[in-house]
Structure 1
Amino acid sequence: MKYAVVAPVAGGVTADPAWMAEFARHLEACGFESIVVVEHTVLMTQYASVYPYDASGRVELTADTPVPDPLDLLAFLAAHTERLVLATGVLVLPNHHPVVLAKRVATVDALSGGRVRLAVGTGWLAEELRACGADFATRGARADEQIQVLRTLWADTPNGASFHGKFFDFDHAMSYPKPAARIPIHIGGHSRAAARRAGRFGDGFQPLGVAGAELAGLVSRMRSAATESGRDPNALELSLGHMVAKIDQGRAEKLADLGAHRAILAMPPVTALEEATDVVSACAQRLGLIS
């Protein structure tokens, strides 16, 4: 089991350079695999969209919560760590043109020595996507093409990369630098479409906020889609969520029994760095990452 910790965006600290640099260094010292940073290009003071991960239908973040650009934040953290995997969780694909995104992600991966994991989703906040110029209704179909565009541009193509889709079209494009290593793309989401996308195009699936029969159904859908696409379903990673303050070895074993390769651990909304590092240290001790 691998353990990733989500930077505590609800605490309003993720744009504090000293706070985040020390937090990331502490995660690395405690033996965690990765740090995960979230994305919202904009948040709205008023919105009609329904947040799917809370019964209230409202996101817990206020619209003025600092949410740094995830790739810029990971580039900053790369300079303050040596081994820690730098992950998005999730990057909202409709907010990005994939040709530009391919360059940005490859740059961070090259400069960090191959430490990027890209978890992507299609977004739930229609008002945010519209502000970014994206069509909410076609975001799933666009995402399928976006992932293919990323892989196409990251490949070593001597005469340049070409892609001809419904939404994106180009010929003989050269995008450098290339990633330092193959960048794993994980699909975030709780829908059957997300599970299918993970099986067809992803290296992993991150269905946070689901459990029981619903989770089993999504994992089965992912595996079936992989098989139908001629891919090995056993090669795909499954990342499941838990809380930093609550997980222990027993709970981690239950996640492993569900097929999880990684636990994505949410932080409480702390603002004091010492409190945050104490919570992380206690978690690492319970999991046996440090003595």
Structure 2
Amino acid sequence: MKRDIRVSLGLIGLETLFGGDIRAAIDWLAVAEEIGIDGVTLTDHVVMGEALENYPYGPFPMPLDWPWWEPIALLSAIAQATKRVRLQTAILISPLRPAVLLAKQLATLDVLSGGRVSIGLGVGWQKEEYEASGVPWEGRFGLMIEQIEVARALWRDAPAAYHGRTVSFDRIHSRPFPVQQRIPIMLGIAPSERNVARIADHADGWLPIQADVPSIAEGIARLRDAFAERGRDPASLMVRAVPRAAKGDNGRPNMDRTLDNARAMVEAGVTEIELFPLHFARDRAGAEALVEKLAAFKASLTP
């Protein structure tokens, strides 16, 4: 059965296709939106320590001097250059931001964009980044959950009250409220039993960390069961995933073969496919060709 599937662009390194000009890359996103992209996604590092060997998913793919744009600031610029695409992260390392400030930033972005924020949160992987930010490494998962609870309270009530382990307040006002009644929040965490409960209790979707389709299918099944147990509609679960980049006969990343992997993800229950132009294109023309293929892929899956 066909169902609505979304497609998005991971923006890491997009400026390299535009001579390193991030402003030109932002302007181009209006073209990608017109062709048919549903969302754009940014990745976050506030600072980077040099212990890249601690990256838990293989060799770290970027050099130390890579420019990590601050996601909320850059998404605000993208909001002004576009009209329809969802503004996303995968992931924002939320514990590095104070909870009330994060709530204000996201509410402001939602208003500026006319209600287009879909935020992906996680806890990152590098202890040195926490130490440099003055944030304890231990307890980071609990801090992230408190941040979600604080944001929901501040987005809903004025005055608002909250009493948690690290944040506590009474009769606090935070305006503006978001345009959306509920900003979608997705968590980029492994689908352990505890994390499945975290997503089902506090979030709207899941960002699988790796591209293994059987593991993703298993995680989706467990999350849908957890949603149902809590009286939530299992069909409302959002899952945004990046398919494994497949190579062609020439040894280079091949878009068509990669979309075959994406199709398997959709069959497993993924609701949004994300691809990185940096992996498949060398210039603007290549990026536009990628967007056209993504839009055609979506059309082949959507009623």
Q: TM-score range by the shorter chain?
A: 0.7 to 0.9
Tell me the SS of whatever aligns to 2:125.
coil
Which has the larger displacement, 224-233 or 25-34?
Answer: 224-233
Tell me the SS of whatever aligns to 1:113.
coil
Q: After TM superposition, give the deviation of residue 135 of structure 1 in Å.
A: 1.7
Verify the 8 A CA contact 1:188 1:194 in the aligned structure 2: no
Q: 1:248 to 1:71 in 2, by over 3 A?
A: same
Q: 1:45 to 1:165 in 2, by over 3 A?
A: same
Residues 1-291 of structure 1 correspond to what in structure 2 (within 5 A)? 1-9=5-13, 12=16, 16-47=21-52, 49=54, 51-54=55-58, 58-155=59-156, 157-158=157-158, 160-181=159-180, 182-192=182-192, 193-242=194-243, 243=245, 245-246=255-256, 251-269=261-279, 272-288=283-299
Which has the larger displacement, 78-87 or 253-262?
Answer: 253-262
Verify the 8 A CA contact 1:10 1:60 in the aligned structure 2: no
Which has the larger displacement, 162-171 or 215-224?
Answer: 215-224
Which has the larger displacement, 23-32 or 279-288?
Answer: 279-288
CA distance in 2, matches of 1:46, 1:254: 35
Q: After TM superposition, give the deviation of residue 264 of structure 1 in Å.
A: 1.9
Deviations 1:43-93 (A, max 9, x none): 2233563x2333xxx321111111110010000011111111111111011
Q: After TM superposition, give the deviation of residue 142 of structure 1 in Å.
A: 1.1
Q: 1:170 to 1:247 in 2, by over 3 A?
A: farther
Verify the 8 A CA contact 2:186 2:207 in the aligned structure 1: yes
Q: How many residues align?
A: 283
Q: 1:29 to 1:61 in 2, by over 3 A?
A: same
Q: 1:175 to 1:145 in 2, by over 3 A?
A: same
Verify the 8 A CA contact 2:79 2:113 in the aligned structure 1: yes
Verify the 8 A CA contact 1:249 1:287 in the aligned structure 2: no
Verify the 8 A CA contact 2:8 2:274 in the aligned structure 1: yes
Q: After TM superposition, give the deviation of residue 18 of structure 1 in Å.
A: 2.8
CA distance in 1, matches of 2:298, 2:223: 29
CA distance in 2, matches of 1:214, 1:234: 19
Q: 1:271 to 1:16 in 2, by over 3 A?
A: farther
Tell me the SS of whatever aligns to 2:81.
coil
Verify the 8 A CA contact 1:25 1:80 in the aligned structure 2: yes
Q: After TM superposition, give the deviation of residue 12 of structure 1 in Å.
A: 4.9
CA distance in 1, matches of 2:67, 2:80: 21
Give the letter for the 2:185 counterpart: I
Tell me the SS of whatever aligns to 2:77.
helix
Q: 1:288 to 1:231 in 2, by over 3 A?
A: closer
CA distance in 2, matches of 1:74, 1:21: 9
Q: 1:129 to 1:154 in 2, by over 3 A?
A: same
Verify the 8 A CA contact 1:28 1:83 in the aligned structure 2: yes
Provide the TM-score with structure 1 as the length reference.
0.87
Which has the larger displacement, 197-206 or 229-238?
Answer: 229-238
Q: 1:275 to 1:253 in 2, by over 3 A?
A: closer
Q: After TM superposition, give the deviation of residue 212 of structure 1 in Å.
A: 4.3
Tell me the SS of whatever aligns to 1:268.
helix
Give the letter for the 2:289 counterpart: D
Query: Alignment identity in percent?
Result: 29
Which has the larger displacement, 264-273 or 127-136?
Answer: 264-273
Q: After TM superposition, give the deviation of residue 26 of structure 1 in Å.
A: 2.3
Q: After TM superposition, give the deviation of residue 262 of structure 1 in Å.
A: 1.0
Gaps of 5+ in 1: none
Give the letter for the 2:274 counterpart: I
Q: After TM superposition, give the deviation of residue 253 of structure 1 in Å.
A: 3.7
Task: Supply the RMSD in Å over aligned alpha carbons.
Answer: 2.5
CA distance in 2, matches of 1:168, 1:188: 23
Q: 1:288 to 1:223 in 2, by over 3 A?
A: closer
Which has the larger displacement, 255-264 or 240-249?
Answer: 240-249
Instruction: Looking at secondary structure, tell me which structure has more helix per residue.
Output: 2
Provide the TM-score with structure 2 as the length reference.
0.84
